[in-house]
Amino acid sequence: MAETMRRGNRKNTRFLALAFIAGLLAGGVLLGGMLLPFSEDLKTISTRLEDFTPSLTTRVYDIRGRLIGEFFTERREYARLEEIPPLLQKAFIASEDQNFFRHPGVDPFGILRALWQNLLNLRVVEGGSTITQQLSRSRFLDNRRSIERKIKEFLLALLLERRYTKEEILEAYLNQIYLGHGVYGVKAAARLYFGKDLTDLTLAEMAMLVGVARSPSYFSPYIDFSAAQKQKRRVLRRMLECGFITQEEFEQALSAPIVLSGLEKRASLCPYFLDYLLKELRTTFEDWQIFSGGLKIYTTLDADIQRVANEALKESGYQGAILCIDPTNGYIKAMVGGRSYEESKFNRATQAYRQPGSTFKPFIYAAALDSGFTPSSVLVDEPLEFPNGWKPQNYERIFRGPMTLREALEKSVNIIGIKLLQEVGIDKVIQYARKMGIRSNLRRDLSLALGTSELTLLELTTAYSAFANGGMVPEPLAILRVEDTAGHVLYEKTPVVRRALSPDTAYIMARLLQGVIERGTGRRAAIGRPVAGKTGTTEDFIDAWFVGFTPDLVCGVFLGNDDRKPLGPQKTGGIIAAPLFARVMKEALKVTPPHDFSRPEGVVEVAVCLKTGLLPSPSCKTVVLPFKRGTAPQTVCTSCP
Contact between residue 134 and residue 177 where contact means Cβ atoms under 8 Å apart: yes
Closest alpha carbon to 31 in 112, 146, 151: 151
Instruction: Report helix angle 414-424 to 361-369, nearest 10.
Output: 50
Strand 554-560 and strand 543-549: pairing? Answer: antiparallel
- Measured at the CA of 31, the angle between CA 28 and CA 35, to 5 degrees, comes to 135
**H-helix or E-strand containing 545?**
strand 543-549
Closest alpha carbon to 87 in 212, 213, 242: 242
Helix%, strand%, coil% for the chain, nearest 5 = 45, 15, 40
Contact between residue 434 and residue 500 where contact means Cβ atoms under 8 Å apart: no
Q: Which of 55, 358, 377, 412 is catalytic?
A: 358
Closest alpha carbon to 515 in 474, 470, 548: 548
Q: Which of 77, 96, 161, 205 is catalytic?
A: 96
Question: Is residue 3 flagged as an active site residue?
Answer: no
Say which amino acid occupies 228. A
Distance between CA atoms of 113 and 120, rounded to whole angstroms? Answer: 11
Q: 249-260: string of b/e by CB count within 10 Å (b at 16+)?
A: ebeebeeeebeb
Specify which residues 67 forms β-bridges with.
61
Closest alpha carbon to 538 in 577, 573, 578: 573
DSSP alpha helix (H) spans, 47-146: 86-96, 108-121, 131-140
List Cβ neighbours of 284 (8 Å cut-off, separation of 6 or more): 482, 491
Distance between CA atoms of 426 and 423, rounded to whole angstroms? Answer: 9
List Cβ neighbours of 4 (8 Å cut-off, separation of 6 or more): none
State residue 216 phi and psi, 5-degree precision: -55, -30
Contact between residue 121 and residue 114 where contact means Cβ atoms under 8 Å apart: no
Contact between residue 471 and residue 602 where contact means Cβ atoms under 8 Å apart: no
Contact between residue 363 and residue 433 where contact means Cβ atoms under 8 Å apart: yes
The full length of the chain comes to 641
Q: Coil, strand, or helix at residue 558?
A: strand
Question: Is residue 358 flagged as an active site residue?
Answer: yes
User: HEC string of 446-483?
Assistant: HHHHHCCCCECHHHHHHHHHHHHCCCEEECCECEEEEE
- Residue ranges with strand state E in 118-239: 183-184
Cα–Cα distances (Å) from 515 to 134, 173, 379, 512, 619, in that order, read: 71, 65, 18, 5, 22
Q: Coil, strand, or helix at residue 556?
A: strand
How many other C-beta atoms are found inside a 10 Å radius of the C-beta of residue 25?
A: 8
Cα–Cα distances (Å) from 372 to 126, 419, 424, 447, 468, in that order, read: 89, 15, 9, 23, 22
Say which amino acid occupies 518. E
Distance between CA atoms of 91 and 211, rounded to whole angstroms? Answer: 9
Q: Which residues are marked as active site?
A: 96, 358
